[in-house]
A and B are shown apart, each in its own frame.
Chain A
Amino acid sequence: MLTLQYVPHHEFTQLSVDEKLRRILRSVRDDKILLIEGRLTSLEESELIKMTMELINKDFKGVEIASIDYTPKDSPFFERIKKDFANFLLRIKPGLTIIGPATLVKEIRKDPSKIELLTMEKKKK
């Protein structure tokens, strides 16, 4: 059975980068697929990869991750400025991040505007 967990942005606001990444990885290692409000920064992503590599063993094979920025590029200029300012105040990178364990998530296919998550087929007994 797959478990999808939605994580709103405010769950992470009081956490340091290290705490935030550890919390994400703890859930992923519990075989949960997380839908996180917002995107990680590039530096957070590279830290997440480093931490993931340190945890890999015969049961945990790593993660599949993808994020998407759904800010419309053609929205009016002042609308964008307003949203950017609000995001700056809330310390949020707009978008959505999907992350799950590589043992469950086979692939996350992404093109600029959509994400498809493919899960592993159950092994036949």
Chain B
Amino acid sequence: MIDKLGMLFRGFFNIFRKRKRIKLGIYGPPNAGKSSIANRISKDWLGEEFTTASAVPHETREIVVKEKITIKSKGKELTFNLIDTPGIATKIDYEDFLKFDLNAKEAKDRAKEATKGVIEAIKWLDNVDCVLVVLDSTQNPYSQVNITIIGNLAARDIPVLIVANKIDLRKSDIKRIESAFPQYTTIGVSALKGENMDLFYEGIFKLMK
């Protein structure tokens, strides 16, 4: 009887703990490198890939959750659930996918799934506790999609860290992102090459404190 009561209490405590774990969302426009960031975090701390990243836009068309990732920095530990979201866009043209060796049916199916993915990503804004907004540092940051994402997070009072990805590329310009969103910390990284990741993990600690 006491054992059963103990199990019941532990079960209740575990549910509570599970609920309390921070949900770190990864948001951004398509092809900014969200899944590459998710994979880099997963590889660095779990030793395995998390999701599929590719050059084809809208590769991630569903919410992907990786539970219980523990990162360490300066003797401290932090555990969270990582949520990779589909890229948010205002337009999706199936003909764009034809350039990537997909046939017409595959391209249309991908476009249909991508539209659903965008809707899901927006709905999930209500389920995340902190967010990494991943932007391609070679692109103009003043796009309406970026402004909409960041505006929505600000309206919900969700802490944000801006990740300026692709700093290994010649056209990368972190300063432009910093001046577009001066109210947030911006950290430049290359998820592909693993550049500046220590500073990035420190940024996650500061974001979640």
- A residues near B (Cβ < 8 Å) are 41-43, 45-46, 49-50, 52-54, 56, 58, 61-67, 102, 108-112
Contact = CB atoms under 8 A, between A and B. Distances in A.
Given A56-B111, A61-B93, A62-B93, A49 B88 contact: yes
Given A46-B152, A66-B144, 4 more contacts: A46-B148, A49-B145, A62-B91, A64-B91
B92 interface: yes
Contacts of B164: none
B140 interface: yes
A86 B130 CA distance: 35
Contacts, number: 75
Contacts of B151: 41-42, 45
Interface stretch (B17-25, B35-43, B62-70, B116-124): B116-124
Given A49-B122, A50-B122, A56-B115, A67 B90 contact: no
Nearest to B153: A42
Interface of B: 88-94, 108, 111, 115-116, 118-119, 122, 125, 140, 142-145, 147-148, 151-152, 154-155, 180
Tell me whether chain A's interface is mostly helix, strand or loop, or mixed. mixed
Contact of A67 (B88, B111, B144): B144
Among B108, B148, B152: residue with most chain A CB under 10 A: B148
B94 A58 contact: yes
B124 to A, nearest CB: 11
B92 A62 contact: yes
A110 B140 contact: yes
B118 A49 contact: yes
A46 B154 CA distance: 13
A64 B90 contact: yes
B94 A110 contact: no
Contact of B90 (A54, A58, A102, A112): A102
A53 B148 contact: no
A53 B90 CA distance: 7
Contacts of B142: 110-112
A49 B148 contact: yes
A53 B93 contact: no
The 5 closest A-B pairs by CB, nearest first: A42-B151, A62-B91, A102-B91, A53-B115, A45-B148
Given A49-B90, A63-B91, A102-B93, A110 B148 contact: no
A61 B91 contact: yes
A66 to B, nearest CB: 5
A52 B94 contact: no
Nearest to A68: B142
